């Protein structure tokens, strides 16, 4: 690492942290944010080797904020580019076209991950940065968000049972019959239990349509 980037390990770079966060918020070009991100990566590595946990955490947060901002700017570029164009293609002959991100040292995977990071709600993103038990990471924040957004693919047994029983009422023709007719062959204890449970079941089912 160059001397310009090497901080004093005994002092957490709070002023540097605030300044870099402000620079990220004010940036409106991808290359600006990419430059901040790369510096944060270098700082994060430096502090890790120096075993300065607090400063390493701050550098990590700066990197993630920069990647998120880069993802926002990359997404805007995607929306603005002409249909059928490719952000990696050579457009050097068109001075009005944005610089391909490959020229900025950004890979396809990084572009994809950073744009996913940009889609994470701000509250969730900030919460991940504040988690005292887990060091935040790009992949971790994305995975947590995708898990929350993922629809439940497992139907609970009770829900499946209810769905099936309600279909049985229609499939077996009970809805078209008089309940008294259905109950007339019940044994006394069966009738008693049915008379006790039926009002409670009816009240519960009534809550479904409210």
Same domain, 71 and 144: yes
Q: Distance from first CA to last CA of the chain, Å, rounded?
A: 65
Res. 73: pLDDT tops 90: yes
Dihedral angle sign, alpha carbons of residues 47, 51, 55, 57: positive
Contact 33, 76 (CB under 8 A): no
* Residue count (the chain): 210
Q: Is residue 8 in a domain?
A: no
* 185/133 same-domain check: no
| pLDDT confidence bin for 63, thresholds 50/70/90 | very high
Using alpha carbons, select from 77, 80, 91 the residue that is nearest to residue 30.
77
Same domain, 112 and 143: yes
Token representation of residue 82 = 């002409």
Same structural domain, 45 and 88: yes
Full domain range(s) for residue 78: 14-149
CA 84 vs. chain centroid, Å, equals 28
Domain boundary among 118, 149, 180: 149
Instruction: Say what the pLDDT of residue 7 is.
Output: 47
Count: domains in the chain: 2
Helix and strand element counts for the chain (H, E):
9, 0
Q: Does 165 lie in the same domain as 137?
A: no
In the chain, what percentage of residues exceed pLDDT 90?
A: 45
Residues 117 and 144 in one domain: yes
* Whether residues 102 and 174 fall in one domain: no
| 29-57 residue pLDDT tens | 999 999 999 999 999 999 999 999 998 99
Q: Tell whether pTM > 0.75.
A: no
Q: Distance (Å, rounded) from C-alpha 178 to C-alpha 181? A: 5
């Amino acid at each position: 690492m160059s001397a310009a980037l090497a901080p004093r390990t005994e002092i957490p770079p709070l002023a540097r942290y605030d300044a870099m966060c402000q620079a990220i918020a004010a940036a409106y070009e991808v290359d600006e944010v990419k430059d901040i991100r790369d510096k944060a990566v270098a700082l994060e590595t430096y502090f890790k080797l120096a075993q300065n946990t607090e400063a390493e955490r701050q550098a990590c947060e700066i990197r993630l904020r920069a990647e998120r901002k880069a993802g926002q700017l990359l997404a805007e570029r995607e929306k603005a580019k002409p249909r059928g164009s490719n952000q990696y293609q050579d457009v050097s002959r068109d001075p009005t076209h944005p610089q391909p991100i490959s020229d900025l040292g950004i890979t396809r995977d990084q572009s994809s991950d950073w744009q996913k990071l940009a889609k994470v709600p701000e509250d969730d993103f900030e919460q991940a940065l504040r988690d005292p038990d887990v060091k935040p990471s790009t992949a971790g924040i994305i995975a947590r968000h995708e898990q929350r957004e993922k629809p439940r693919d497992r139907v609970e047994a009770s829900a499946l049972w209810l769905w099936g029983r309600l279909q049985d009422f229609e499939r077996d023709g009970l809805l078209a019959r008089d309940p008294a007719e259905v109950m007339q062959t019940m044994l006394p204890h069966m009738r008693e239990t049915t008379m006790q449970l039926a009002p409670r079941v009816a009240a519960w089912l009534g809550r479904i349509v409210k």
